[in-house]
Amino acid sequence: MPRIRFNGITKTYGDHEVIKTFSADVPDNEFLVLLGPSGCGKSTMLRMIAGLTDITAGELEFDGTVVNGTEPKERDIAFVFQSYALYPHLTVRANIAFPLLMSRFKPYHHLPVVNTLMRRRVLRDPDVDAQVRRVAAMMELTDYLDRRPRTLSGGQRQRVAVGRALIREPSMYLLDEPLSNLDAILRSQMRAEISDLHHRVGKSFVYVTHDQVEAMTMGTRIIVLNEGVIQQYGTPKEIYDSPANTFVARFIGSPPMNLIRCRLDGRSLRFPDGVTLKLPEGCASPSAPDRDVLLGVRAEKISVAPSDAVASDTMPAHIIVSEYLGAETVVAFKLGRRADQTEQDTVAKHDLQQARIPGELHLTPGADFTVRLDLTNVSFFDVDSGERLPVAVPEATR
Amino acid sequence: MKERVDVTDVGTPTRTTPRALGTTPRGQRGRRLAPYLFIAAAAVYLLLLTGAPLLDGLWLSLTDTQLLNPTEGAFIGIHNYSSLFADAEFAHALVVTIVYSTATVLGSLTVGTVAAVAMNGAFRGRVLARAILTFPWAVPSVAAVLIFSWIYNKDSGVLNQALSSVGLAQHGWLVDPTWSLFAVTLASVWKVFPFVMLVVLAALQAVPEELYEAARVDGADAFNRFRTVALPFLLPTLRVTALLMTIWSFRRFEIIWLLTQGGPVGSTNSLVISVYREAFVNSELGRSAAMGVVGLVLSTIVTVIFFYVDRGAARKEAL
């Protein structure tokens, strides 16, 4: 169960730098999620951990030992591929048993007839059979052991791939978007199964995904990547509540965090349409006074009220679209009254905000209403760099 | 039921109600004949250029037709066949054919597959290497045979010179009956292995890279990766290639004829060489045709075996 240490890892293909100086320290038994959009380098990172892709510069350490030049089979890892990579000509039983077969392989087994006999003998070995059956039972594959992968559904194939990874009981499991080919229901089910598996086997998992729901629900730690650069490394709660920059703020959360440009003047937030809101007592804010900031507010921290319910802590807004999702309604709106907007402003998406309201809410698109922002736990970002601004609770408000 | 428009009626102004295709006798006849019309051109071509000569050859094999008087052959029943199977030379030619074909097929499949696996890897100069290895297939047979004649020359050939330089015995590769079949087979393998290489290379490129990587993670070495991942993908291709190579080996003429003319003392005298000799040296067209028919039967047996093996493998795959 190794502690993984990324020490200035870099990967380049020709002149193209895919991973830029990646450093992180991951404790034992964590469920680490590498999260980021397509092409951000997360799969490359996973392949470098597995030893399938060479590291251009930097050191990768397992328990303090540099493993840069070590072959995959010597790293004591198991890898679940996005396409599952099941051997199509072998049965489910033979697929799951394959790592055990290889662990018992001797050089003389390469002889043609000996090879065939050896494979048969290993598959019939009571010890191997017991292990295969144990894993198959865990993965609910007992009834499919003699079938070939092509006759299985996507979910069953995925379970075979995990079963093949489990049989050797490696110290680390690497999973490369294993749920991306499944439908929504199966994905949700397999999420729970993989999380449960992590608790049961008590080993380190490194999981690559572009789906922030998977990351938030399964990960004990998340590394958010973009264009080969670590954006943030932390627990799901840290990343959700305190995103390091606007990229993380927008990437994590569904709907994403609302970013509203305003001017911070002491404890007041002045918005472009003239509305001024006061930060509540005890609320942390950037220390530098009087500057433009991006205010980050999660969708669930916004509530709506009728347009005539104007109060000192509300802002006028108008509805663009309202999406009823059963348990909640997601309201997309723009700040300011509709009458104050030009037609072009109304359709522009860049300043669209979203609120998540529990239950069902009937709102007419285009209608004016007011929104109330819960400012007790908001984020502040630099307008130019997008970086999170350090905040502190002022002495006077403590 | 959905009504279908009679395409034969399209554009006929007098008919105002569209009628279903095939509901009229004319339409039904058209539907029945249409598939045959589509294959008619190919069928006529095959009948004229393959079927007719085949039947003519079969007829010829039952006659005593001579080359110098080809229209005067008389029907003699299966006499040509009975004389062939009583002929030790013909039996020897069959053995030579089978040995030569087996060795050429196995040799070219092995060399071609190894070359394909080597060319499938990523290395600098791969394109050039592939072009060089494809070269023997592109070289005309006559040129290739001339080169091999020089290589095999007993006195000044590079093969004997190379052997003597490392202290090994020299041989009369094309004049010694012990070595002549080996020499002819070696030249044939050199000439045809690029075909296997190209076909196998194409099949190898269809193998998903992730399967190799999964096998690497599972602890498989290079041989096991080939056996577990690549070989199952290659087997259907190898079976078809083996069939083609076998049939081509049965009827390969130019390399053997130009190198040894079936000699020395009949050691490389394959079936096609015998057919040629019987027809154009001994002028026995009827007997020659009978030999050709035996060759056809041999090829058919190989093809039937191939289809049985292939069907069995397909059934196993489907499980």
Q: Are residues A237 and A304 in the same domain?
A: no
Cβ distance of A52 and B211 shorter than 8 Å: no
Distance of CA B181 to the CA centre of its chain: 19
Q: Are residues A110 and A166 in the same domain?
A: yes
Judge contact between B9 and B19, C-beta under 8 A.
yes
In the predicted model, is pLDDT for residue B253 greater than 50? yes
Q: Which of A189, A53, A165 is nearest to A99 (CA)?
A: A165
Cβ distance of B218 and A77 shorter than 8 Å: no
Q: Are residues A243 and A123 in the same domain?
A: yes
Which of A249, A282, A308 is the endpoint of a domain? A249
Structure-block tokens of residue A288? 């530098």
Going by pLDDT thresholds of 50, 70 and 90, the confidence category of residue B4 is very low
B36 lies within 8 A of chain A by CB: no
Q: Are residues A79 and A115 in the same domain?
A: yes
Q: Mean pLDDT across chain B, nearest whole number?
A: 89
pLDDT, mean of residues B279-300: 94
Q: What is the pairing mode between strands A77-80 and A65-66? A: unpaired
Judge contact between A158 and A167, C-beta under 8 A.
no
Q: Which residues contact A36 (CB under 8 A, 6 or more apart)?
A: A42, A210, A224, A225, A226, A231, A251
pLDDT of residue B220: 92
Separation CA A216–CA A198 (nearest Å): 15
Separation CA A232–CA A213 (nearest Å): 17
Q: Which of A88, A231, A210, A208 is nearest to A148 (CA)?
A: A88
Q: Are residues A241 and A112 in the same domain?
A: yes
Per-residue pLDDT tens for B88-134? 999 999 999 999 999 999 999 999 999 999 999 888 999 999 999 99
pLDDT of residue B3: 42
Q: Are residues A277 and A186 in the same domain?
A: no
Give the position of tokens 């949700």. A188
The residues that bridge with A174 in the sheet, in sequence order, are A79, A206
pLDDT of residue B13: 47
pLDDT of residue A311: 73
- Structural domain containing residue A338: 256-397
pLDDT of residue B315: 77
Separation CA B114–CA B227 (nearest Å): 13
CA distance A255 to chain B (A): 35
Q: Are residues A22 and A129 in the same domain?
A: yes
- Tell me the domains of chain B and their CATH numbers: 7-61 (no CATH), 79-318 (1.10.3720.10)
Structure-block tokens of residue A193? 């199964």
B4 lies within 8 A of chain A by CB: no
pLDDT, mean of residues B274-295: 94
Say which CATH number the domain at A201 has: 3.40.50.300
> Pick the residue with more confidence: B219 or B317?
B219
Separation CA B250–CA B94 (nearest Å): 10
Going by the DSSP 8-state scheme, the letter that residue A152 receives in this structure is S
pLDDT of residue A361: 83
Separation CA B218–CA A76 (nearest Å): 10
Altogether, the residues listed in chain A come to a count of 398
Domain count within chain A: 2
CA distance A204 to chain B (A): 17
Q: CA A357 → CA A235, A299, A303, A311, distances in Å? A: 26, 8, 7, 20
Per-residue pLDDT tens for B9-39? 444 444 445 555 556 778 888 888 899 999 9
Q: Are residues A232 and A93 in the same domain?
A: yes
> Which of A74, A77, A82, A89 has the most B C-beta neighbours within 10 Å, making it the best mutation to test the interface with B?
A89
Predicted TM-score (pTM) of the model is 0.79
Task: Tell whether ipTM is more than 0.85.
Answer: no
Per-residue pLDDT tens for A189-240? 888 888 988 998 888 999 999 998 999 999 999 999 999 899 999 999 999 9
Going by pLDDT thresholds of 50, 70 and 90, the confidence category of residue B8 is very low
Q: Are residues A224 and A301 in the same domain?
A: no
> Which of B213, B217, B225, B238 has the most A C-beta neighbours within 10 Å, making it the best mutation to test the interface with A?
B217
Positions in chain A short of pLDDT 50: 398
Q: Are residues A201 and A263 in the same domain?
A: no
